[in-house]
Structures are given as structure tokens and as C-alpha cells.
Amino acid sequence: MTLDETLQAAFAAAFPGEDFSGVRVLPATDPKFGDYQCNDALKLAKKMKTNPREVAAKVVAALDRAAFEKVEIAGPGFLNLTVSAAWLNAQLATLSAQPRCGIPPRGAGKTVVIDYSSPNAAKQMHIGHIRSTVIGCALDRIFRALGYTVVADNHLGDWGTQFGILIKGYRDCLTDEERANLTVATLEKCYVLSAAKAKEPDGVWKDACRAELVKLQQGDAENLALWKRFIDISIGEFERMYRKLGVKFDTYRGESYYNAMMPGVVEKLRRMGLAEESEGALIVNLDAEKLGVAIVRKSDGGYNYTTSDLACVESRVADYHPERIIYVTDDRQQLHFRQFFSIAAKMGHTVKLVHVPFGLMSYQGKAISTREGNLIKLDDLLREAVRRSLAIVAPRGGDEQLAEQIGIGAVKYADLSHDPATAIDFNWDKALALEGNSGPYLQYAYARVCSLMEKAGEGGTDGGSGAPEPLPKDGLFRVATPSEKRLALQLLEFPGAVVRAAEAYKPSVLADYLFQTAQLYSSFYQNSPILKSEPAVRAARLRLCALFGDILKTGLNLLGIETPNHI
Ligand code: ARG
């Protein structure tokens, strides 16, 4: 029985006939109050309009005390709970015997589509793309760990007026050699040249771009083939970045995939009486919800972002039957998502639609902008991360592979340790610090557990080639000292932290948990001799270390961060 269930049973016995499934036991806010607390007596008393301390007393009288060393009623009616060592040891044993460190299979049988990264084609990825990619990837891994079937979908920006400009530029701004060895960098250059010419006052170039676009839209074979080539080259380049970042998509259905479905969507909106004509355009009026007006067909007959996302929902529902769809984009797109979620609901879609907006990222204290010239390419950022990490690990004998694991991990953690909703600043010193809340600090904590295990001769590592051997799984847990107990209680919270991270769509919840856990481990480690203790204590403490190691590794991997055995 879980502590929640134990308390629920006590409430039910004391007050028969009520529903107590919502009763919860929470970690104590301060260890001096005990290990856990339950605040539900207060809530119940409020509802019953009676004295909360009396309610609490009745619950305590009915409580099965097996798990507890001490139960106290505090203040206006809080229940402060101190668990027994026997209970704690048994819980640790149960947790360490569970697969995936006890992450519950909450999502079994459910599908979730996660739409993330989604850069625009024919441009190199830059530092601004990191947040969607890294946050989306962590959510992807967290939901998979919870048993969901995840469809990781890269909703590429692969359609629109820029392709007219690109095709014209490809034909008339590039050399034969550039055309033969086309890269994303060349496409970018070609776009800049062509877009500049499209601004010339005579409008000739601009008209030519538009003519190429119209040909493409009408399915002209040559233009379609060119467009396809641009997309393939872009995806090839993006995948090179994704490989570095350990990100993998199940599909790359870009905006163009939904083109053919857009007239149908608009027709449906019209039939349902949701869309109306306005100055030649077709709009959905969302004034009643204070969301303004969404254009679903422009006056020139073209469709837009809203229409494409509506078609996309329909298609995803038909193909994957998802329970929810999660979109990870920057917070400037909030209005777009609110509008289109509202329209989708009016159209009868019941799938849960979730926007995970993230704040802007600045770089070393400066806003990132094309004009400032600090629109750093993602490739360069990752290269720099590896270069700086190599400088740290090389003196200790670390190689390029280790530098990659640390550098990329540091970049990811610098993002994931912040609530996605906040704006963040990327700073090299902070990201790569070996002390403090950083990726390298947590990786280092893991490596230290590995070397401890190695010294203890109980599994550990195979000597650094990468494949970890199983950490010890036997020996009894014997939690005794305060620092041991605090670590133990914290380790038991791991499955809950993963669930909370998913429920809030915030990998930062898990990152916070891991950082706190590593700090508690470090104070346990400083206070408790391990290898030199007498055999039973030694074995018990090693097991606690092993469980910490397992949890840290599992948790970091959920954030997409690798865990080398040696640093
Ligand atoms: N391509 C868009 C951008 O670069 C993001 C697309 C997000 N996904 C979506 N279904 N709208 O901002």
C-alpha cells in the first residue's frame, strides 16, 4: 500500500461514505516537521464546517500505523508523518527492483504526437532553434518512458513564398558548380541574393519570383523537383545536427504535406457556419473569446498557417488517434495556437491540444538577432561546446567522445534546467561549470558513483569503454543517519518527479529534482564513510549509492544527456 492509500483508508474509516481518492501525502516542507505531511484534514474540515484538529484526530485514530514511527497533528490540523526505518528500507528495495527506476506506465495504450524543432527549410539551424529541439526531445523521452506511444513529428516550414525567391535565385544567382554541389549554406546565400533583387523598384525580379511560386503551386514538374531537392538537402543538414544532439524524429511531415487538405478544411468551416467572408478573405471570428480574428483563406485565395495547422490536426487524428498533441514553439506564437486550438474545438476535435511556449534565449547577455550579427549557427555552437569541453577533459585524459558527451550535455542542461516559460541567457562559464547547477556537475556526480562502485569491486564499469555493468542489486538497505535518510526519501520521489515533469510539460521539474538529489547525495557522501564501514553498513550504503546512480543516469537520459562512466 502506498502512503496515499494508507491515508485514504484512514479518512474513509473515520468518515464513511465520502470520496477520499484525492487525499495526498506530500514530502514535508521542512525535515523538522517529519518526513511527509498530509493537509487533507484541513480541506475536509472546511467542507464539513467543523474543527480541523478534530477531523485530524479522527483520522489519526483510524490510521494504520505500520509505516510510521511518529504521527503528529500540527498547527490548525496538518498531519506530520515520520516513517519508520523498516518502511523506508522496504520502499527502497521495492524501488530498486522495479524496471526504469519505478517510472509508472501511465501512458500505456495512449499515443501522443509531439511537434518540435520544426525549423524552416533552406536555412541553416541557428542558436534560436535549440530550445524547441532540446525541450521537445526531453518531453519525447519523458512521455516514452511513461509508456506512451510517441510520434515525434518535425513540422518543417517547407512551403511558402520563399520558394519562389529560392527557385528564381537558384536559376539566376548561382554558378553551375554551386548548383551541382548544393548545400543549405548555398541555398541561404541564394535566398539572400534573390530576395535583395526582389526589392528592386522595377519589380521585374519580384514578378519572376512570383511566377516561379505559382508554377510550383500548380505542380510544375521542374519546380517541384527543385523544391524537393531543397527540402531533401535541408533535412540532410538538419539530421546532421539532430545526430549530434541525439534527437530522432519519426516523421518529417512539413507544412506542404497538408496542402491538399486545406480546401476541405475551409469548406468544412464554411459548412459548419464557423467561417465568414470579410473583405474578400475568409475569417473565423473569435472576438467572443477575446482572440480576435483568424484568417483561414486570404483574399488572394491562399491559405495560411492557421489553415495548415487545422488540416494537420485532422490528419494526425486520422492517422495516429492521439490522446494529445503537444506543440513546442517560442512564446511569440501563443496567439496562433490559442486561435487554432479554439477553432479545432469548435470543429469538434476532442484531442487534447497543448502548446508548450518557451521564452527567448539570449547569448552571453546579448539578444540574438540577425542585425546584431550574433545569429550563431547551431553547428558552430555545438562545435564550440565540444572545443571548450575538450580543454577541460583533455588534461585528465579525456578524449573527443567524452568532450562531445560533456559539451552537448552542458548545452542541453543549460536550457532544460530552466522553466521553459522563462527567457534564458546562455553563458559558457555557467553551462560548463563543474560546480553548481550544470550538466557537467551532474555527469561528474554520476562518474563518481561509477568509480566508487569500481573501487568497491561491485560491478561499476568495464574500464571506461562506455558500457556500464549492472550496479549492485543485493544487500539490505539500512537507512540510519539523517543524511542517509534525506537522500533515501528523495530517491523515492523519482517516479513522481517524472510524472510531474510530464504533467507540467516542464523538463525543468526533472532537472531540479536531479540537481537536488545530487546535492543530497553529496552531503550523504561527505558524512558517511562507505568503503571503510563494517560489512553490513558498507553493503547497505553501496546499495543506496547504486540506486542514486541508476536514478541519476535514468533521469539524465530522459533529458537527453549522456552519462559517461569516467570523467
Ligand atoms: N516552422 C515553425 C517555426 O519555425 C514552427 C512550427 C510549429 N508547429 C506547428 N504545427 N505550427 O516557427
Ligand 1 centre distance from Cα of residue 494 (Å): 33
Measured at the CA of 380, the angle between CA 374 and CA 381, to 5 degrees, comes to: 75
Residue 465: what pLDDT?
44
Give the nearest ligand 1 atom to 305 CA: 11
Ligand 1 centre distance from Cα of residue 526 (Å): 48
- Would you place residue 264 in the very low, low, confident or very high pLDDT band (cuts 50, 70, 90)? very high
- Kindly tell me if the per-residue pLDDT of 459 is higher than 50: no
The Cα 136–Cα 86 span in angstroms is 40
Task: Determine, yes or no, domain membership for 204.
Answer: yes
**Dihedral over Cα of 334, 417, 385, 327: its sign:** negative
On average, the pLDDT of the chain sits at 94
- Residue 50, domain CATH: 3.30.1360.70
- Kindly tell me if the per-residue pLDDT of 170 is higher than 50: yes
Q: Averaged over 176-203, what is the pLDDT?
A: 96
Task: Determine, yes or no, domain membership for 452.
Answer: no
Ligand 1 centre distance from Cα of residue 353 (Å): 15
Q: Averaged over 255-259, what is the pLDDT?
A: 96
Residue 473: what pLDDT?
52
- Would you place residue 70 in the very low, low, confident or very high pLDDT band (cuts 50, 70, 90)? very high
Give the nearest ligand 1 atom to 328 CA: 7
Residue where a domain terminates, one of 245, 278, 307: 245
Task: Determine, yes or no, domain membership for 52.
Answer: yes
The DSSP result for 93-154, as a single string, is HHHHHSGGGG---TTTT-EEEEE---PBTTS--BGGGHHHHHHHHHHHHHHHHTT-EEEEE-
Q: Averaged over 474-492, what is the pLDDT?
A: 92
For residue 372, how far is the Cα from the chain centroid? 29
Q: Averaged over 206-235, what is the pLDDT?
A: 96
Task: Specify the DSSP class assigned to residue 51.
Answer: -
Ligand 1 centre distance from Cα of residue 156 (Å): 7
- Kindly tell me if the per-residue pLDDT of 558 is higher than 90: yes
User: What percentage of the chain exceeds 90 in pLDDT?
Assistant: 92
Q: Averaged over 229-239, what is the pLDDT?
A: 97
- Kindly tell me if the per-residue pLDDT of 466 is higher than 90: no
Residue where a domain terminates, one of 230, 245, 260: 245
Q: Averaged over 463-481, what is the pLDDT?
A: 63
Q: 322-350: per-residue pLDDT in tens?
A: 999 999 999 999 999 999 999 999 999 99
At 219, give phi and psi (nearest 5°): 90, 20
- Would you place residue 414 in the very low, low, confident or very high pLDDT band (cuts 50, 70, 90)? very high
- Number of H helices and number of E strands within the chain? 21, 14
- Kindly tell me if the per-residue pLDDT of 367 is higher than 90: no
Give the nearest ligand 1 atom to 156 CA: 1
Q: Which domain holds residue 240?
A: 161-245
Least confident of 175-184, 204-213, 287-296, 371-380: 371-380
Pocket-forming residues, ligand 1, beta carbon under 6 Å: 115, 118-120, 155, 157, 309, 312, 327, 329
| Closest CA to ligand 1's atom 4 | 119
Ligand 1 centre distance from Cα of residue 260 (Å): 19
Set of cell numbers at residue 7: 491515508
Give the nearest ligand 1 atom to 333 CA: 12
- Would you place residue 468 in the very low, low, confident or very high pLDDT band (cuts 50, 70, 90)? very low
Q: Are 328 and 133 in contact (CB under 8 A)?
A: no
Task: Determine, yes or no, domain membership for 47.
Answer: yes
Cα distances (angstroms) measured from residue 441 to each of 62, 104, 416, 430: 46, 28, 14, 11
Residue 371: what pLDDT?
66
User: What percentage of the chain exceeds 70 in pLDDT?
Assistant: 96
Relative to beta strand 281-285, strand 275-278 is antiparallel
Give the nearest ligand 1 atom to 336 CA: 11
Residue 457: what pLDDT?
81
Task: Determine, yes or no, domain membership for 95.
Answer: no
Ligand 1 centre distance from Cα of residue 154 (Å): 9
Q: Are 564 and 468 in contact (CB under 8 A)?
A: no
Give the nearest ligand 1 atom to 129 CA: 4
Residue 470: what pLDDT?
47
Q: Are 95 and 101 in contact (CB under 8 A)?
A: yes
- Kindly tell me if the per-residue pLDDT of 191 is higher than 60: yes
Ligand 1 centre distance from Cα of residue 355 (Å): 11
Residue 461: what pLDDT?
41
Ligand 1 centre distance from Cα of residue 330 (Å): 9
- Would you place residue 474 in the very low, low, confident or very high pLDDT band (cuts 50, 70, 90)? low
Residue where a domain terminates, one of 179, 211, 245: 245
CB atoms within 10 A of CB 474: 9
Which of 155, 303, 331 should be mutated for ligand 1, with most atoms under 8 A from CB? 155
Task: Determine, yes or no, domain membership for 257.
Answer: no
Q: 9-49: per-residue pLDDT in tens?
A: 999 999 999 999 999 999 999 889 999 999 999 999 999 99
Task: Determine, yes or no, domain membership for 447.
Answer: no
Q: Are 461 and 471 in contact (CB under 8 A)?
A: no
- Kindly tell me if the per-residue pLDDT of 472 is higher than 60: no
| Closest CA to ligand 1's atom 8 | 155
Ligand 1 centre distance from Cα of residue 252 (Å): 12
Ligand 1 centre distance from Cα of residue 206 (Å): 26
Give the nearest ligand 1 atom to 330 CA: 12
- H or E element: which one contains 242? helix 221-245
Set of cell numbers at residue 510: 526533472
Task: Determine, yes or no, domain membership for 521.
Answer: no
Residue 361: what pLDDT?
93
Give the nearest ligand 1 atom to 157 CA: 1
Which of 327, 333, 338, 358 should be mutated for ligand 1, with most atoms under 8 A from CB? 333
Number of domains in the chain: 2
The more confident residue out of 418 and 434 is 418
| Closest CA to ligand 1's atom 1 | 157
Closest CA to 340 of 496, 115, 210, 349: 349
- Residues with Cβ < 8 Å from 539, sequence gap 6 or more? 472, 474, 475, 476
- Would you place residue 471 in the very low, low, confident or very high pLDDT band (cuts 50, 70, 90)? very low
Ligand 1 centre distance from Cα of residue 449 (Å): 41
